[in-house]
Structure 1
Amino acid sequence: MSRRSLISEALAAVANEPTPLAPTEADATAAAAGRVNFTNKRLEAFGEAARIVKRPTIRLKPAECSIWPGNARDYTLLDEHRLRSLIDSILAEGGNRIPAVVRRTPNGPLPYELVTGTRRHWAISWLNSNHYPDIDLIAIIEDLDDEAAFRLADIENREREDISDLERGLNYKAAVDRFYGGVQLRMAERLKISKSQLSRYIALTDIPPFLVSAFHSPMDLQAKYGEKLLPLLRDPASRTKLEAAADQIASEQSFRRSGDEQPISGVEVMGRLLKAVTVKGRVQKASIAAGNGKAIGEVVKDQQKILTLSLTPSDLSTDAILEALRPVIDAARIRNAKRR
């Protein structure tokens, strides 16, 4: 068997084997036929490489590695609870069974940069800080440029269930500009994924923070939700309703977290957001009158309790108009206080 780099083989093979970004009916058919997906074969091959090809592995401390920022996974989101099963597995086996991939950084602050194996790096770092300082990170050193490193990390990350669609979207959005001249089709062809799938993930990054905050975790915000929310955000009226509903849901999520209650699921969040825009309820209208009793405008309250004020041109002073609006605003505040 050739001593060619296992990583180089993986990168070359993915160029010839279409690997969908998300499961499709074709995937299910292929799985039923007994096909083993490429990612699993590559991960299994790491162990074979050490025995058959005798690829050299090294043992190092996580503190010797910086984390390559081109990986989709957000290192800051990792914690003991999220990685508990991996920590237990590494502890039982005395190390990570599947080597991480690092590259040398001659001019960097640390000797190595981690390309793949972020979860393994975090877990071993945690163990080193919690009574197991002798456990090392097992890694393979590869000479990769940034684009090859990105493709390799993507191969591994596609099958990971604990990377959010938003993380993937942010990663792809940065990569398409950095490596592919901003051309999504070129990137899709290079990664052997469909352009429509790639577009859905990148489009998810346009979801504003006020909507993201309505979800308990970024893991709950799926790419398919973006297809429903983004068109609604383009309409000012719908956007206003979405923002009001999202603020209310975010407050409830925070309250539940403080009381150790079950969070509102992603499916329920989506249902409530869409209902806020699509459900038609009774609209209440009332005139806004000046001190002389003359109507100077109208206040409309929709089913989401949102007030819309409209004023007609008049000769009244600013102070007089504000005085006419004061009882309308005070009434709304009183009703809101009673609901609380």
Structure 2
Amino acid sequence: MARKQSDYLAALLADEATIETKSAAPEMATTVETAAPAPLAATSPMPEPLVETALPHRSERLRGTTLLGRESALARVATGEVRQVTQLLLDPARVRVWAGNARSYEHLSAESCQELIDSIVAEGGQKVPAVVRRVEGDPDYDYEVIAGTRRHWSISWLRRNSYPDLKFVAQVVQLDDEAAFRLADLENRARKDVSDLERARNYAQALKDHYGNHLTRMAERLKLSKGWLSKMLKVAGLPDAVLDAFASPADVQLKPAYPLAQAVDDRTASPAILREAKVLARLQDERRKAGDPALPASEVIARLLAAPKVGEAKPRPLVYHGRDGRVAVSVQSANRQGVTLRLHAGAGIERERMIELVRNALLNLDEEGRGLQR
């Protein structure tokens, strides 16, 4: 090492035994992993008269050896052999979630994060740091979460519920948006609670924002199959009107939803599918209000795919349920002569609810083009 560099390091390190860095904020904790100085060789005892003359020489030797060890440690940090990792203890209210993350923050709940919440409480805090980057020009936030959305939500929830002193532990990185997207995607691939639809729509947005709509380039950067990615992007194109037919967007999985996405792209089949989706959305809403279980995704997809063929065959009778899944109202026929409804006894509902179901049946028939002619 050149003398000027050696002098600079000597002045910088002075006589400190370890490398120290000042915190950027009172809540920040910085750790640096460095190589230990080389051990000194043992020296044999010296005669008393020689000690006074030998001490200055030994002191210089110690300082030189220690300096070389420090220089070696800094060199290893500079070359990347040893990495400095900075972790912050943050107020989660000053941290926002990056919009490029696939996970839907508003759909998180204490139930979906219960295991993580219990773990944080049992361990006395968050042990695995999230990944954040600094925010510029936003007076409300200092950082944004790239990976660790559930940890951010859980700490925020705990601070509102009996643990106000908990801090959000995060590691700060410098990433552009494309690199941040790849990092978030890698984390989300291992998470079962990130639905295929969430990931699909995240990919569709990233294709436009980061890859100039070049599918091949995106597949290469993400190390994904081009065919699989193409299917995900097709599912991402499902219109909201079709998604409303499902009890939850999380029910939309890639394998069964891909044929549906293809069918929606068919101009001849699309109108019938959209009409059936409206009927199913209304039925799902009725079931929620009545406290009945929602229609499963498999049944929803089957009915949507069958919708284009319904007009060719005999129309499927519409059925409306009361309590405990018992049939309350069913459409027996609907044609030019009129509409025939059957009100079933023993449905276990009040008369006002029965009238509401009759009204819903007539509205659904109108949407299908089979309603009463005026």
1:178 shift after superposition? 1.3
1:115 and 2:157 correspond: no
- What's the TM-score once normalised by structure 1's chain length? 0.67
Query: Which residue of 1 is the match for residue 134 of structure 2?
Result: 104
Distance 1:282 1:177, change over 3 A: closer
Query: Which residue of 2 is the match for residue 64 of structure 1?
Result: 94
Query: Which residue of 2 is the match for residue 201 of structure 1?
Result: 232
The 1-side partners of 2:335 and 2:310 are apart by 25
Q: Assess if the C-alpha contact under 8 Å between 1:241 and 1:304 holds in 2.
A: no
The 1-side partners of 2:182 and 2:258 are apart by 26
Query: Which residue of 2 is the match for residue 166 of structure 1?
Result: 197
CA offset digits 1:215-245 (Å, max 9, x no partner): 1111111122342113322444422332232
The 1-side partners of 2:33 and 2:242 are apart by 50
Which of 269, 287, 290 in structure 2 is aligned with 1:259? 290
Which of 187, 206, 218 in structure 1 is aligned with 2:249? 218
Structure 1 stretch displaced more, 270-279 or 136-145 = 270-279
- What value does the CA root-mean-square deviation take over the aligned residues? 2.8
1:106 shift after superposition? 3.7
Q: Assess if the C-alpha contact under 8 Å between 2:234 and 2:262 holds in 1.
A: no
CA offset digits 1:252-285 (Å, max 9, x no partner): 22122223332222122112222333468744xx
Q: Assess if the C-alpha contact under 8 Å between 1:128 and 1:135 holds in 2.
A: yes
Alignment of 1:130-209 (within 5 A): 130-209=161-240
Distance 1:188 1:90, change over 3 A: same
The 2-side partners of 1:132 and 1:332 are apart by 63
The 1-side partners of 2:338 and 2:239 are apart by 28
CA offset digits 1:124-156 (Å, max 9, x no partner): 101111121011111111111111111110110
How many residue pairs were aligned? 252
Query: Which residue of 2 is the match for residue 86 of structure 1?
Result: 116
Query: Which residue of 1 is the match for residue 261 of structure 2?
Result: 230
1:73 shift after superposition? 0.9
Higher RCO (CA-CA < 8 Å; seq separation 6+): 1
1:123 shift after superposition? 0.9
1:124 and 2:159 correspond: no
The 2-side partners of 1:235 and 1:141 are apart by 47
The 1-side partners of 2:254 and 2:313 are apart by 33
- What's the TM-score once normalised by structure 2's chain length? 0.61
The 1-side partners of 2:221 and 2:313 are apart by 53
| Identity across matched positions, percent | 40
Q: Assess if the C-alpha contact under 8 Å between 1:214 and 1:253 holds in 2.
A: yes
Q: Partner of 1:91: helix, strand, or coil?
A: helix
Distance 1:280 1:181, change over 3 A: closer
The 2-side partners of 1:235 and 1:226 are apart by 15
Q: Assess if the C-alpha contact under 8 Å between 2:257 and 2:301 holds in 1.
A: no
Point out the structure with max Rg over C-alpha.
2
CA offset digits 1:42-68 (Å, max 9, x no partner): xxxxxxxxxx96733221111111211
Q: Partner of 2:269: helix, strand, or coil?
A: helix
Q: Assess if the C-alpha contact under 8 Å between 1:280 and 1:303 holds in 2.
A: no
Flag as ranges the 4+ runs of structure 1 deviating above 6 A. none
Structure 1 stretch displaced more, 240-249 or 186-195 = 240-249
Q: Assess if the C-alpha contact under 8 Å between 1:203 and 1:226 holds in 2.
A: no
Q: Which amino acid aligns with 2:264?
A: L
